[in-house]
Amino acid sequence: MKQNLLRTMVAMLTAVATCALSSAQLTKNVNPLIGTGRIEGALRGCNYPGATVPFGLVQLSPDTREAPNWDCTSGYAYEDERVYGFSHTHLSGTGATDLMDILLLPVSQERRVATIDHGREQAYPGYYSVHLTDDDIQAELTATPRTGVHRYTYAQGKPQCVYLDLDHSAVKGDWGRRIERAQLRIVDAQTVEGFRIITGWAPLRKVCFSIRFSRPITAYSGWNDGRSFGVKGLNVKRLKSEDEGANAFTANGTDIKVTLTFEPDGRQLEARVGISAVSMENARLNREREADGKTFDQLRQEANDQWEETLAGIQARFATQTEATVFYTALYHAMQQPGVFNDVNGQYMRADYNIGIAREGHPHYTMFSIWDTYRAAHALYDLLQPQRAGDMVMSMIDHAEHYGYLPIWELWGEDNYCMIGNHAVSILVEAICKGVPDIDEQRAWRAIRQTLSTPHRDSPWPLWEQLGYMPENQQTQSVSITLEDSYDAWCAARLAERLGLADEKEHFDKLSHNYRNLYNPETGLFQPKDDLGKWLPGFDALRYGANGGSAYTEGNAWQWRWSVQHDVDDLIALSGGKERFVQMLDFFFTCRDTSGEKNDNASGFIGLYAHGNEPSHHVSFLYTLAGQPQKTDQLVDHIRRTMYNAEVSGYIGNDDCGEMSAWYVFAALGLYPLNPASAQYVLFAPSVTEATLPLPNGKNVHILSKRQGRNAIFVKNIRWNGQKLNAPMLSHQQLMEGGTLLFELTSNPKGKLLPTGGK
């Protein structure tokens, strides 16, 4: 009875809070320029500032490099003062670069690059604007899921032209990148369509587009594989398409660029660009269904509204606006991808390059940076966007059914095999165990079983099953892969168990402990062996590996020492018990020895801990499981305050499709999915003052922190619906039932802390 009363009160409180917060315009807290600037000693966040909607196919954003590369994977570097144009697809925060399709630049003369004025640059969710100073043009961008919308305001009396470049891309040659075929069609006086087929990080992409301009073309001049073409002073009638197939002009080649001149009539010109991976017809359909009959301002408002609704999944208050900005920008970055891949008619490019059809109401998704996002980003989707999360899982299963196994890094329908492990397995099992809707568990199991038995790149299963580990002389990155494959095996065992497949459960449970076979008790570290079972000589605990040629992936033996997310108890036992385990953690977070060549991805150091890259992301929470939660609180507080900020330098390393962001969101809320597929959260001191999560199931979760003073960063007590928790853990299932999570925080830690300045 008492409890019921409490619940009712909480529900009322929540309702009030929701109301109060949703009128607060959460999008005002988002600054898309965060993560776009240079950082000392680390890779930049590599976010893009352009216009996009939540989980959209289009990311319409400025490219400040002619052929962007590793340093600027999103195409935009804040320190740059020139823009090559606005292209329609971008990656957010990745280490490698790709996409950047169909580039438009408004100009008043033949020009392929324009100076920009950052003082006249605005970036909001779903809207971007910048001033091009050379020709005095203001460019504004907004987007729908599959359509980029441009509005250009030209200087009075100046020619109104648009430079359209089908050749623009990330640097050619990398990943064998080249344009195989491209087509440009001037369909009629206001419509330009085409496609390009390009190789690169995504092995082979077809990108089709359909552009509708708000006014007629009166001249065009361009280059097709070095041959010029063009018509001046066009009779607009000549550019009228009477019938299907009667295009005014068509160019086929590999390097096509054109400058289009428009009939001057007022100063503003709009371009609406539908894109599709399937066909120009679909690109046109996408544009018409999504953008027709609406003004630029209406579309901008709709994009903003979608972000408002998406961000309202967490209605949070912080002590400072800076924290709110960092938090909501992180949430914004996390919700930018994966993107819907199917066209409005359901068609999408399947993993075998045939056309698939998405089920009505169930989008097919693309852009899965799985090695990163299996850690926290998918946990966030499961929590806040379960319908989408289920469709993401089914998209991965569809991929497996036409590809033979689940994706490693899915980009534009195909796998680029970036990074290691097969953590789609984790994402599937996590979603199923969390009750995410509309997942076919039998198909999920089959996809998992095939993934973990079909040998593929970096997954030589016969060796794995025969030796019980990956031998470095036959499979490089062997220690990292052994650790990660052990985790995936554990995930598979959980689904087998759930489905009552006893033999399969036993098989995968056995494999889930394979990491033990590479543990060297003498060093307390996981070390590489050859295929005869001998330790590899010349071991250096501090030497970094990259992505091959070393047993460790983008890290060293110490950073990989903690990667047993699925059986921390066993890791503690293996380490010699809790005390020894904590000593090793203390060493890890305080070691000042920086010998050994670093890997670029490792940054954001606290001792050897590197928050700038994913293998470290769960390590601070291990203290809590080892009985020293105050050190988790201490570290998480430190990371939140020093590794994130509200400036263009906002992330201490690549955001990696929102994974760094998702970490922050959870870290601010006081819960973290240390072992995602366990459907459990570790609890610790949040930074949020108060947060309401109006769950899609109609329930609400209310998170409150009661702070004893400003420096109260340590957990004293945690109460779930009024009841004090014995252990700082909460299951996803509990959360889904709704309730209030109350953190009582103190400035007096219960035990010893790490020495400050450990960084």
Q: Which positions lie near a second copy, rule CB under 8 A?
A: 176, 178, 180-181, 183, 185, 195, 197, 199, 203-204, 206, 224-225, 227, 229, 243-247, 249-252, 278-281, 352-355, 400-405, 414-415, 443, 446, 450, 454-457, 460
Q: What minimum distance in Å lies between the beta carbon of 189 and a second copy?
A: 16
Between the alpha carbon of residue 604 and those of residues 42, 366, 369, the distances in Å are 7, 29, 21
Which of 276/705 has CB closer to a second copy? 276
Q: What minimum distance in Å lies between the beta carbon of 413 and a second copy?
A: 11
162 Cβ neighbours under 8 A, 6+ residues apart: 104, 105, 106, 107, 152, 213, 259, 260, 262, 269, 271
Q: What minimum distance in Å lies between the beta carbon of 503 and a second copy?
A: 14
Which of 327/403 has CB closer to a second copy? 403
Q: What minimum distance in Å lies between the beta carbon of 205 and a second copy?
A: 11
Between the alpha carbon of residue 743 and those of residues 10, 599, 683, 688, the distances in Å are 15, 38, 9, 10
Q: Is 735 helix (H, G, I), strand (E, B) or coil?
A: helix
Which of 218/565 has CB closer to a second copy? 218
For residue 400, report the phi and psi dihedrals to the nearest 5 degrees. Answer: -60, -35
Q: What minimum distance in Å lies between the beta carbon of 693 and a second copy?
A: 36
Query: Which residue type sits at 352?
Result: D
Q: Token pair of 20, please?
A: 């109060």
Q: Token pair of 143, please?
A: 């987007």
Q: Token pair of 533, please?
A: 């079972």
What does the alpha-carbon distance between residue 528 and residue 534 come to, in Å, rounded to a whole number? 8
Q: What minimum distance in Å lies between the beta carbon of 723 and a second copy?
A: 46
What does the alpha-carbon distance between residue 290 and residue 658 come to, in Å, rounded to a whole number? 26
Between the alpha carbon of residue 625 and those of residues 435, 566, 607, 628, 734, the distances in Å are 25, 12, 20, 7, 19
What does the alpha-carbon distance between residue 400 and residue 214 come to, in Å, rounded to a whole number? 42
Q: SS3 string of 179-228?
A: EEEEEEEEEECCEEEEEEEECCCCCCEEEEEEEEECCCEEEEEEEECCEE
Which of 414/656 has CB closer to a second copy? 414
Which of 141/397 has CB closer to a second copy? 397
Residue 195 has, within 13 A of its CA and on its CB side, a CA count of 17
Which of 151/206 has CB closer to a second copy? 206
Q: Could you count the other beta carbons within 10 Å of the beta carbon of residue 245?
A: 9
Yes or no: say if 163 and 111 are a contact pair by the CB < 8 Å rule. yes
Q: What minimum distance in Å lies between the beta carbon of 344 and a second copy?
A: 16
Of 334, 213, 215, give the one whose Cα is nearest residue 265: 215
Which of 247/520 has CB closer to a second copy? 247
Which of 278/665 has CB closer to a second copy? 278
Kindly tell me the sign of the dihedral angle through the C-alpha atoms of 531, 533, 536, 539.
Answer: positive
Yes or no: say if 684 and 624 are a contact pair by the CB < 8 Å rule. yes
Which of 402/534 has CB closer to a second copy? 402
Which of 177/561 has CB closer to a second copy? 177
Q: Token pair of 236, please?
A: 């607009």
503 Cβ neighbours under 8 A, 6+ residues apart: none
What does the alpha-carbon distance between residue 173 and residue 199 come to, in Å, rounded to a whole number? 9
**Residues in the chain, overall count:** 759
Alpha carbon 583 to chain centroid distance? 34
Which of 8/353 has CB closer to a second copy? 353
Residue 258: beta bridge partners? 164, 222
Which of 182/584 has CB closer to a second copy? 182
What does the alpha-carbon distance between residue 625 and residue 629 come to, in Å, rounded to a whole number? 8
Q: What pairing do the DSSP bridges indicate for beta strands 227-231 and 127-132?
A: unpaired
Which of 277/679 has CB closer to a second copy? 277
Yes or no: say if 659 and 372 are a contact pair by the CB < 8 Å rule. yes
